[in-house]
Amino acid sequence: MASPMDIALAEARAAAARGEIPVGAVVMTGDGTVLARSGNAVEARADASAHAELLALRAAAAARGGPRLSDCDLYVTLEPCPMCAQAISFFRIRRLVFGAYDPKGGGVDHGARVFDAPSCHHRPEVVGGVREAEASALLRDFFGRKPFPSTPGGAAKRINPVGTRSEPTGRAEG
């Protein structure tokens, strides 16, 4: 049986074949059922917000008939951008698993670090770097072998422990 990240990678490959940046996402229920799967569809939909994660989250919520996905996990081939990270929080995803890190556009382990912000009221468990080599190879191929930004570590790493969220410190960063 295909793993959730296999399905997300298949969606990313299908997106590339359509001329979209190759990113794929899957929403799984707690019992391992695929609730929704999607690839990036920015060009096809003429919608700059049609990222794979957002489309999969919306489809999953529609399938469920409710806006919250508290018992669901999101698998995506690339570190989510700040928009998608915020949506992941709004949909109350239990666990986020992503493939390649994105130092330039990511909003989880880079940049805005959305889940660490005091304004973030639901923080999923996060695991990054799962099937990272395959996910970044897809992006590299798509962008014509331009080097995709290299990533820390190289192995899957847990970014925050289960069930924790950082407490607001009340102090401005940087």
Per DSSP, 57 falls in state H
- Is 134 marked active-site? no
Asked if residue 84 binds Zn ion (CB under 5 A), the reply is: yes
User: Which residues 91-130 are close enough to bind Zn ion by CB under 5 A?
Assistant: none
Beta bridge partners of residue 126, listed in sequence order: 96, 160
Say how far apart CA 80 and CA 100 lie, in whole Å.
Answer: 10
Asked if residue 50 binds Zn ion (CB under 5 A), the reply is: no
Helices 82-90 and 52-64, axial angle in degrees (round to 10)? 20
CB of 174 to Zn ion, least distance (A): 23
Among 9, 35, 81, 96, binds Zn ion (CB under 5 A): 81
Residue among 99, 95, 107, 117 nearest 162 (CA): 95
CB of 32 to Zn ion, least distance (A): 25
Residue 49 identity (one-letter amino acid): S
Asked if residue 51 binds Zn ion (CB under 5 A), the reply is: yes
Pick the closer one to Zn ion by CB: 51 or 131: 51
- The contact set with Zn ion (CB under 5 A) reads 51, 81, 83-84
**Catalytic residue IDs:** 53
